[in-house]
Amino acid sequence: MDSFIDWVKKELDKRGWSNNELGRQMGMSSSAISLVLTGQRKPTWNFCAKLAQVLEKSPASVLRMAELLPPISQDQQFEEQVLYLTQKLSSESRAIVLAMLDGLAKADIPANSKASISSEEQAHLQAFRSLQPHEREAVTKMIDTLAGGKNET
């Protein structure tokens, strides 16, 4: 349970949030938040669902962190997160991500390769450039993760 508490505290630090702000975001009292974050009360399914929503994490991953669901392999965690993030995208963005993943899987070209790109890949690049900045960032993070963190962003 300590790892869950530590994880939540790190997430709060990243956002510059206090327990009060987390409580406000979750629609809960700061004392209820404090009871969980001090280990005096175990997080409930409802608490984890609200926490996942405000932290923009998959509910399943938060429930696993809280030990309310059994652990899964890193590969399964990755697939779960990809599915969660993909479900949040518009259908157009999903199609772009799918096309990019398909191109990566077919080409399997190292990230630092100077290989020329096909007209289809150029079309994918153009589609990527047409995304909103937050969508481009999300796709870039996904590709970086798929490439094992080798892409320079």
Question: Where along the chain do its domains lie?
Answer: 2-65, 89-146
| 17 burial via Cβ count (<10 Å: 0-12, 13-18, 19+) | middle
Q: Tell me: the pLDDT tens digits for 7-60?
A: 999 999 999 999 999 999 999 999 999 999 999 999 999 999 999 999 989 899
Q: How far apart are CA 13 and CA 41, in angstroms?
A: 21
136 pLDDT higher than 90:
no
Write down the pLDDT at residue 17.
96
For residue range 55-75, list pLDDT tens digits in order: 989 899 999 999 999 999 988
CA Rg, the chain, in Å?
Answer: 19
User: What kind of architecture, by CATH, is found in domain 2-65?
Assistant: Orthogonal Bundle (1.10)
Model confidence at 152, pLDDT cuts 50, 70, 90, reads very low
